[in-house]
């Protein structure tokens, strides 16, 4: 996914950090290879996406975000973030393992 940076302000900073994830950890998810898909349940006024993967610190994280366009820049605007629950981690690890076995 191509993007130019992140769109942070008071509103999304507070909401994203309320479950313990730091802004740096949230941003680090996108420096790796997260699984990204649509968030169909909550996409009413804007297109939202879900991303899951690992932070640079090796923690499993789940982020809901949208894309904002400012001039020629595409910015990721995180809307919500939390660490994955045990069952989500297991499903993520199984998916990664399955993909690696197919190579």
Q: Alpha-carbon distance 78 to 23, whole Å?
A: 9
pLDDT in tens, 54-81: 999 999 999 999 999 999 999 999 999 9
Residue 66 CB neighbours (<10 A): 19
The CA–CA distances, whole Å, from 74 to 1, 56, 85, 93, 99 equal 10, 22, 30, 30, 29
Per the structure, the count of domains in the chain is 1
**What's the whole-model pTM score?**
0.90
Tell me the percentage of the chain whose pLDDT exceeds 90.
Answer: 79
Q: Tell me the pLDDT band of 103, cut-offs 50, 70 and 90.
A: low
Q: Is the pLDDT of residue 88 over 90?
A: yes
- Residue 76 belongs to what domain range? 5-101
Q: How does the average pLDDT of the chain come out, rounded?
A: 92
Contact assessment for residue 57 and residue 25, using Cβ atoms and an 8 Å cutoff? yes
Q: Tell me the pLDDT band of 43, cut-offs 50, 70 and 90.
A: low
Contact assessment for residue 32 and residue 56, using Cβ atoms and an 8 Å cutoff? yes
């Amino acid at each position: 996914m191509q993007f130019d940076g992140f769109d942070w302000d008071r509103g999304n900073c507070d909401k994203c950090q309320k479950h313990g994830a730091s802004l740096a950890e949230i941003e680090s998810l996108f420096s790796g290879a997260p699984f990204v898909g649509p968030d169909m349940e909550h996409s009413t006024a804007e297109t939202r996406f879900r991303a899951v993967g690992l932070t640079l610190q090796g923690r499993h994280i789940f982020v809901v975000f949208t894309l904002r366009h400012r001039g020629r820049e595409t910015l990721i605007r995180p809307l919500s973030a939390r660490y994955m629950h045990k069952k989500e981690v297991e499903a993520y690890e199984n998916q990664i393992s399955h993909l690696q076995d197919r190579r």
